Amino acid sequence: MDRPVRTIAGVDCAFLDGGRLIVAAAVMCDAGTMETIATGHVIRPCRFPYVPGLLSFREAPAVIAAIKRLGRAPDLLMCDGQGMAHPRRLGLACHVGLWLDLPTIGVAKSRLCGEHRPVGRRRGCRAQLRDGKDVIGAVVRTRTDVKPLYVSVGHRVSLADSIAWTLRCTRGLRLPEPARRADRLVATLKRDHA
């Protein structure tokens, strides 16, 4: 990474009304304390149709709008979704990171593609996620005896730094705090909209 990381924002999104609306949220945290600094969200019509493998084209415009509502750009962005660990090597983290030119990490709860060896059961254990000969990410255990996360490069960050920041931001739960808080905000917004 080319500059110190003082702020990290997590982003997440979900669909409402049968996919006609999308809710996206961004939560910016202090990189040292994990205290929330700012939040931003949008609820807007979803204009891109569902196309397998192109989900980021549906999600990215709303996610970018939520990030812009933070008031300033974070030093690092964590997307609840894939980066390079995507069949087209362009998951949400790549798409948003490229658009905003921000260092971006993909942190996903499930695997879209690739294979990996078994991951040890303790926090910090990891295995390469490979698609053929290519390393496309890592499978990282963020909490002992809990399902691992699928971490991949989005933009302007190495895989080693992506893993390190994911572990550094995980405070006793499975998800890194910025992404977890964005997930919670999306759930609240969905509930309030119903």
Say if 81 falls within a structural domain. Answer: yes
Please give the average pLDDT of every successive group of 10 residues along the chain, which has 194 residues: 93 95 98 98 93 89 98 98 96 98 98 97 98 98 98 98 98 96 98 87
pLDDT at site 52: 83
Q: Which tokens in the block code for residue 105?
A: 């990490």
Domain, as residue range, for 77:
7-107+155-193
* Residue 98 belongs to domain with CATH number: 3.30.2170.10
Considering only CA atoms, which of 60, 68, 115 is closest in space to residue 91? 60
Say if 123 falls within a structural domain. Answer: no
Considering only CA atoms, which of 166, 17, 159 is closest in space to residue 77? 166
CA distances from 123 to 98, 108, 137, 138 (A): 31, 17, 17, 14
Say if 140 falls within a structural domain. Answer: no
Say if 149 falls within a structural domain. Answer: no
In the chain, the number of structural domains is 1
Say if 119 falls within a structural domain. Answer: no
Say if 89 falls within a structural domain. Answer: yes
